[in-house]
Structure 1
Amino acid sequence: EHYPPDAVKSLRSFSLAEAAYFLGVTSSNIKKLHLEGKGPTPATSASGRRSYTAEQMLELRQYLDRHGRADYKKYVPHRRGGEELQVIAVVNFKGGSGKTTTAAHLAQHLALTGHRVLAIDLDPQASLSALHGIQPELDRNPSLYEALRYDGSKKPISEVVRRTNFPGLDIIPANLELQEYEYETPLAASDKSSAEGRMFFTRITDALKEVDHDYDVVVIDCPPQLGYLTLTALAASTAVLITIHPQMLDVMSMSQFLLMLGGVLQSISGAGADVRLKWFRYLVTRYEPTDGPQAQMVGFMQSLFPKQMLKSPMVKSTAISDAGITNQTLYEVERAQFTRATYDRALEALNAVNEEIAALVHQAWGRR
């Protein structure tokens, strides 16, 4: 009843302070533009509070970019000449590490800060799709499998892309049919008369070439296993983000994952894959700073991987889990729905993580 099959997900308006944050300017700067009649007209409450829709923020970004100082930063951060499409694979060997939550918030933050983003749900469980209002058990949406399959029904990737409720963010949803790729790939690889199966790891790379100029960043939510889907995604990636819960069993599991991953990447690189990783980072998720053993484990990981750990961990928060009950992210829910301190603490941690990743993307492009 809450999610009828024909429902279309909407997006709330953003406060003046939120708009200023995503645009990278001060609130007084935006307020001044409004008073001068420049840019879009925000909604104003009875108490005088201004709010902007995501579309208006995009319009305001373009206005600032056109009328900003020539020697100042650009407000529209799209790729420029010679800058490569950045493909970020979010991976973990086991479930429950916050992988999908991380991928969803990262893709939305990049879109809200002006990037053109394509999110790919590669997990047959389709949690990322559900967070964006697509229900695989009700909606008959094609998945990336349609662009990866080995038979004559293969489609261009542009035919499986869908818009989301976030301007600048498109998604390729998932469904159970993705699992077919895991069964078909070894059969195709054993067919000596065809090179398609032997070069399976290039299929996402090749599919993305069709939409290369439409996006700045691709965020792939990989399944929690090192199967053919994950390997094909890693071969297409320019960056890998490994989510890790700071507990001993999870760290041991990650160690096994990395050993397997290193061996497999060497094998597919030797078979002709162009492994183009610019960076990889560990992101500590569901972190509780007051938990002594967790804090010890984070310190242990930071001493082992000082250059590979993101400086900002993602804290465990009831705000994120409560938002997830209604298939929403923290960027979608209203602050008033939560205890202010709880919401602000979660949002501060989330923004810090996403800012750090966005900086790595820009660094890969050669920008400061």
Structure 2
Amino acid sequence: MHEPIAEEHTALKIQRHSQLLSAQLQQLRETLYPPEAQKTLRTFTSKEVASLVGIAESTLRQMSLDGEGPEPARLPNGRRSYTLAQINEVRETLAAKKPAEATRFLPRRKPGDKLQVLAVANFKGGSAKTTTTVHLAHYLALQGLRVLAIDLDPQASLSAMFGYQPEHDVGSNQTLYAAIRYEDDERKPLKEVIRKTYFTGVDVVPGNLELMEYEHETPQAIAAGQSRGEGMFFRRIKSVISQVEDDYDVVLIDAPPQLGYLTLGAIFAATGMLITVHPAMLDVASMSQFLVMVSDLLSIIEDAGGVLEHDFVRYVLTRHNPHDAPQVMIVTLLRSLFGADVLTAAAYETTAIANAGLDKKSLYEVERGSVGRETLNRGLEQIDAVNREIFDHIEAVWGR
């Protein structure tokens, strides 16, 4: 009679599966983006540059002929090709040449304009929180803004979108945790954990599982009296962002999908909140609970002396299928309840975003021809509309 095969201990099994999957993901990443050929941003045609900057293509061509601005590369077909850094040079040249229109060409914040810190939040998985954050970061950078993206999610999907696999590329004390942790001798200035990315204008603070340490340590720190004054748990993120305030126009925080100390810190640090909503009944029911809990916890923060000053709070409809009758009904309900607090534009469910996500790209990175033209154009049109509306709110705060 055969002895029964002993079932592998759960902890060992999960550890083994974790190692197998991690190694495979690393191998896959090295195949797609070898270390010696790191992820890069595509170049842009003259037509795309003219559209982004808001000038005629003939004006851009004349600038090139007159030696004004950058020298674009020439493609085999003779057409000009610009990097995003060169597009920003074009902007700077035009802003210097036409001071009265400087803000139109280069819409960065001016002295006295408030740094915009936007927390993208919801504790329901699948609400496209990270996708929303990445597309907004890329969109703002394409307008010439300086963006810092902070990955506060221990699962680190945002970091992966920027080419960092958390368990391989982000070591100990290299996340935001390093800047907000309670041990004085281990803490680092925020600048030391900020990384440049391949996407000109976007810097990132990557995340990994280490961020969970903050959730574990905060109750102990409160009990030990370490969470006081500016060092109070909900003030720490806001405090460290102030260290780099002069370097950026917008800070985007991809909050964790749960309402813990990190999320509360992100909401307190924020000047604006974007709550992503997939308009399906289960998701909206979950969001209702999220709002109840946020309301209760923010009241506790205010009772502890925290002043919440959000310039705007907006609901962002994501993965919306306008042909799905129940979804349309929920969207109508949300608009009737929350009015203008729901963005007018919505991000539709599209294969373009799904396919780009498989390659860890936003729609702004997708090469023309790799996706059907109509599919890509429709996707970009919707994402642009969402991001333009958010940017309008930012510019309104800056008095434009």
Indicate whether the TM-score tops 0.5.
Answer: yes
Aligned to 1:279: 312
How much has 1:198 moved relative to structure 2?
Answer: 7.7
Equivalents in 1 of 2:97, 2:265: separation in Å? 43
Aligned to 2:110: 80
Which 5+ residue runs of structure 1 have no aligned equivalent?
none
Which of 113, 119, 144 is the equivalent residue of 2:176?
144
Aligned to 1:260: 293
Aligned to 1:214: 247
Contact 1:185 1:197 in 2 (8 A): no
- Residue identity in the other structure for 2:141: A
Q: Mapping of 1:198-209 within 5 angstroms?
A: 199-209=232-242
- Residue identity in the other structure for 1:148: I
Equivalents in 1 of 2:102, 2:239: separation in Å? 37
Aligned length in residues? 367
Aligned to 1:104: 134
SS at 2:117 equivalent:
strand
Which of 83, 96, 111 is the equivalent residue of 1:53?
83
Pick the structure with more helix per residue.
2
SS at 2:127 equivalent:
coil
How much has 1:38 moved relative to structure 2?
Answer: 2.2
| Ranges of 4+ aligned residues in structure 1 off by more than 6 Å | none
Which of 146, 157, 166 is the equivalent residue of 1:127?
157
Equivalents in 2 of 1:88, 1:194: separation in Å? 24
**Share of identical aligned residues, percent?**
50
- Please give the TM-score of this superposition, normalised by the length of structure 1: 0.95
- Residue identity in the other structure for 1:147: A
SS at 2:113 equivalent:
coil
Q: Which moved more, 1:126-135 or 1:287-296?
A: 287-296
Aligned to 2:145: 115
How much has 1:32 moved relative to structure 2?
Answer: 3.1
Larger Rg: 2
Equivalents in 1 of 2:175, 2:227: separation in Å? 24
Contact 1:42 1:51 in 2 (8 A): yes
Q: Deviations over 1:297-316 (max 9, x none)?
A: 21121111111010100011
Residues 28 and 300 (structure 1), Cα distance of their counterparts in 2 relative to 1, 3 Å cut: farther
- Residue identity in the other structure for 1:188: A
Equivalents in 2 of 1:32, 1:126: separation in Å? 44
Aligned to 1:163: 196
SS at 1:70 equivalent:
helix
Equivalents in 1 of 2:141, 2:42: separation in Å? 15
Equivalents in 2 of 1:126, 1:323: separation in Å? 18
Which 5+ residue runs of structure 2 have no aligned equivalent?
1-30
Residues 48 and 194 (structure 1), Cα distance of their counterparts in 2 relative to 1, 3 Å cut: closer
Residues 197 and 279 (structure 1), Cα distance of their counterparts in 2 relative to 1, 3 Å cut: closer
Q: Mapping of 1:1-368 within 5 angstroms?
A: 1-5=31-35, 7-68=37-98, 70=100, 73-141=103-171, 142-151=174-183, 152-192=185-225, 195=228, 199-367=232-400
Q: Which moved more, 1:61-70 or 1:188-197?
A: 188-197
Contact 2:95 2:102 in 1 (8 A): no
- Residue identity in the other structure for 2:176: L
How much has 1:24 moved relative to structure 2?
Answer: 2.6
Q: Which moved more, 1:358-367 or 1:42-51?
A: 42-51
Contact 1:78 1:114 in 2 (8 A): yes
Q: Deviations over 1:158-180 (max 9, x none)?
A: 10000011111100000110010
Contact 1:188 1:197 in 2 (8 A): no
> CA RMSD of the aligned region, Å?
1.8
